[in-house]
Amino acid sequence: MDKRQGTLGIIWHGARVCFGQESLSVFMMNVSVLFLSDLLLTTEVLQMDMLIYYPENMLLPMIFVIAVMAIAGPVLCAVFMKNDGKGKTQDWSPKYIATMIIAMFVTPSLGLITMSFVAQRIDSMNDVLFLVLLPIVMLIVSYLSLRVMNEGIKAVVEQIKRVKGELEDAQRELKN
C-alpha cells in the first residue's frame, strides 16, 4: 500500500466519523495501525535484525518449526492444563478456547524473541542447537502465555518459583 492510499483511507474514515457512520475509536485504531505499520516497515526493520537472532542458512527449517509450534504448542499446553487443572471433568469453556487461539499468535513472536535472548546467552550456539532449542522455548512460552491469560500473572510467578525451587533441589542432589 502506498502512502497516498493510506492518506486517502484516513480521510475516508475521518469523513465517515464526521457523518456518524463510524465510531471514533475505530478511526483512532485505523490511524494508529497505519502509523505503526508505516513506522515498522520503513524505519525499524533494520534495527529489528539486531534484536532477533536467526540462523541464516536454516531459515526455512526455522520457519517450519515456528509454524508447527505456533499451532501445536498452545494446543498441547491447553490440553495439558485442562487435564491437570481443576476442571478435568468440565467441558472446555469459550474463554479457554479463545485464549488458546490468542496464544497461537503470541507464541511465535514471543518465542522467537525469547529464543534470541537465549541464543545471545549461550556462547556455543550453532544452527542445529538453535533448531533443537526453538520448539522447547516456544512450548514454554505457550505454557506461560496460556497461564497468564487464564489464571493471571500471580500464577505464573508462583509457577516460576516452584520450578526454580525444584531446580535448586535437583542441583543439590546432583552435588551429593
Neighbours of 146 (CB within 10 A): 24
Q: Is the pLDDT of residue 37 over 50?
A: yes
Nearest to 149 by CA among 106, 85, 119, 118: 106
Share of the chain above pLDDT 90, in %: 5
Name the residue with higher pLDDT: 125 or 71.
71
Segment 145-172 shows an average pLDDT of 79
Calpha distance 174→166 (Å, rounded) = 12
What is the widest separation between alpha-carbon atoms in the chain? 76
Calpha distance 17→26 (Å, rounded) = 9
User: What pTM, to 2 d.p., does this model score?
Assistant: 0.58
Share of the chain above pLDDT 70, in %: 71
What was the pLDDT predicted at 68?
Answer: 92
Residue indicated by cell numbers 535472548 = 117
What was the pLDDT predicted at 25?
Answer: 65
Q: Is the pLDDT of residue 118 over 60?
A: yes
Segment 55-74 shows an average pLDDT of 87
Segment 155-161 shows an average pLDDT of 75
